[in-house]
């Protein structure tokens, strides 16, 4: 502000001087040469004025230069500040990333510590029920730690901590309909899909989880939004050598006639492994992996059809006891928990 005023003052002075110079020049008009005696004095004045003008011009020039330099300095400073704030932002992002990573590690370590403490006891963490008894009571995705003692790998699971007291490890879900269940033996063995969406947990994992006495709960929803269930007090699979044969007993439920009983004591089949009890290849006909008999009373790993699309085919997600063979369900969830679980 001060500098600007100074510059303005200088400018005013310059203009005044120029005007003065002009008025002096007017006195040199030959038609008005009434006072020839002042000619020498006039020229002296002019020279002095010219010098002053030159001085003022150089002063102004210097001032402009200074201002320009300052402006350049300011721009540099602003750029520097901007660069620093960008750096800080990057650091914050990095810190956030590290924080969530550490958080994640802490959670896993907590699980592992809990497991190490009870390593030899019956309370080792290997399913959602053991998580529940360790006060993890919110439904969602969990990571079960690897267990060297049992020789089991780390496993992502979805825990239902609400239905009938919680503690359920979800082994299958159909609700989105984008994941194909028409898969081969290897994929059914390892598991596939998204743990928060549609998935099969994997026959090896289900086999492992059902080595203790286990309950199976099947939740089904139709396109009217009605929900029914079928529950088996006993549920277990054989190992791979025995084709993950299904063993169920102790049915209860409200989904009509028991539609899994027909599949009891049958081997698992996939599109590349026909273990069914039929001349046909049921897995290929029903487009899923399942404990096919000859072929189905239920087909929970069948093709996901939107309401009304499934009329004549035999490959939908069906439960004959409730909606018959030509109605494909909107949502299915199969979940397990130990028989001795107490909420
Ligand atoms: Ca066959």
pLDDT in tens, 285-306: 999 999 999 999 999 999 999 9
The DSSP 8-state label assigned to residue 288 in this structure reads: S
Q: State how far the Cα of 309 lies from the Cα of 311, in Å rounded to an integer.
A: 6
Q: How far is the CA of 296 from the centre of ligand 1 (A)?
A: 12
Is residue 107 very low, low, confident or very high in pLDDT (cuts 50, 70, 90)?
A: low
Q: How far is the CA of 287 from the centre of ligand 1 (A)?
A: 13
Question: From the centroid of its chain, how far is CA 157?
Answer: 17
Residue 81 burial (C-beta neighbours within 10 Å; 0-12, 13-18, 19+): exposed
Residues with CB under 5 A from ligand 1 (ion): 274, 276, 278
The dihedrals phi and psi of 263, each to the nearest 5 degrees, come to: -95, -5
Question: From the centroid of its chain, how far is CA 263?
Answer: 38
Q: How far is the CA of 320 from the centre of ligand 1 (A)?
A: 21
Query: Each residue of 208-224: pLDDT tens digit?
Result: 999 999 999 999 999 99
Decide if pLDDT at 99 tops 80: no
Q: How far is the CA of 154 from the centre of ligand 1 (A)?
A: 35
Q: How far is the CA of 132 from the centre of ligand 1 (A)?
A: 41
Q: How far is the CA of 268 from the centre of ligand 1 (A)?
A: 11
Highest mean pLDDT among 15-19, 38-42, 119-123, 221-225: 221-225
List, as one string, the DSSP characters of 105-117: HHHHHHHHHHHHH
Q: State how far the Cα of 209 lies from the Cα of 231, in Å rounded to an integer.
A: 17
Provide the pLDDT for residue 102. Answer: 72
Provide the pLDDT for residue 116. Answer: 53
- Which of 224, 241, 260 has its CA nearest to residue 334? 260
Decide if pLDDT at 121 tops 80: no
Mean pLDDT of the chain: 86
Q: How far is the CA of 292 from the centre of ligand 1 (A)?
A: 9
- The first and second tokens of residue 287, run together, are 């487009």
Q: How far is the CA of 180 from the centre of ligand 1 (A)?
A: 22
Q: How far is the CA of 284 from the centre of ligand 1 (A)?
A: 9
Mean pLDDT across 141-152: 82
Query: Each residue of 24-45: pLDDT tens digit?
Result: 444 444 444 444 556 677 788 8
Provide the pLDDT for residue 33. Answer: 46
pTM (whole model) above 0.75 = no
């Amino acid at each position: 502000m001060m500098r600007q005023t100074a510059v303005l003052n200088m400018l005013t002075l310059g203009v005044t001087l120029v005007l003065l110079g002009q008025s002096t020049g007017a006195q040199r008009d030959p038609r008005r040469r009434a006072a020839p005696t002042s000619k020498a004095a006039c020229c002296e004045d002019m020279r002095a004025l010219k010098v002053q003008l030159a001085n003022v011009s150089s002063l102004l020039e210097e001032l402009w230069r200074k201002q320009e330099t300052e402006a350049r300095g300011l721009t540099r400073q602003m750029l520097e500040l901007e660069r620093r704030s960008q750096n800080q932002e990057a650091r914050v992002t990095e810190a956030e990333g590290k924080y969530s990573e550490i958080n994640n590690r802490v959670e896993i370590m907590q699980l592992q510590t809990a497991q190490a403490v009870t390593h030899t006891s019956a309370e080792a963490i290997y399913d959602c029920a053991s998580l529940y008894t360790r006060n993890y009571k919110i439904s969602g995705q969990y990571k079960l730690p690897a267990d060297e003692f049992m020789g089991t790998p780390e496993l992502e699971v979805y825990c239902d901590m609400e239905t009938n007291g919680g503690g359920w490890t979800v082994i299958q879900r159909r609700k989105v309909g984008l994941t194909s269940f028409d898969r081969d033996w290897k994929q059914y063995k390892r598991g596939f899909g998204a743990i928060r969406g549609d998935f099969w947990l994997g026959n090896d994992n289900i086999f492992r989880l059902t080595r203790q006495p286990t309950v199976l709960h099947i939740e089904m929803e139709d396109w009217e939004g009605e929900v029914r269930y079928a529950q088996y007090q006993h549920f277990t699979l054989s190992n791979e050598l025995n084709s993950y044969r299904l063993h169920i007993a102790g049915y209860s439920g409200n989904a009509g006639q028991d539609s899994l009983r027909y599949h009891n004591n049958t081997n698992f089949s996939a599109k590349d492994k026909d273990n069914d009890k039929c001349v046909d290849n049921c897995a290929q006909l029903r487009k899923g992996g399942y404990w096919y008999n000859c072929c189905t009373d239920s087909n929970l790993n069948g093709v996901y059809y939107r309401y009304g699309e499934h009329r004549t085919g035999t490959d939908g997600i069906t439960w004959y006891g409730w909606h018959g063979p030509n109605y494909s369900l909107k949502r299915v969830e199969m979940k397990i928990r130990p028989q001795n679980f107490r909420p």
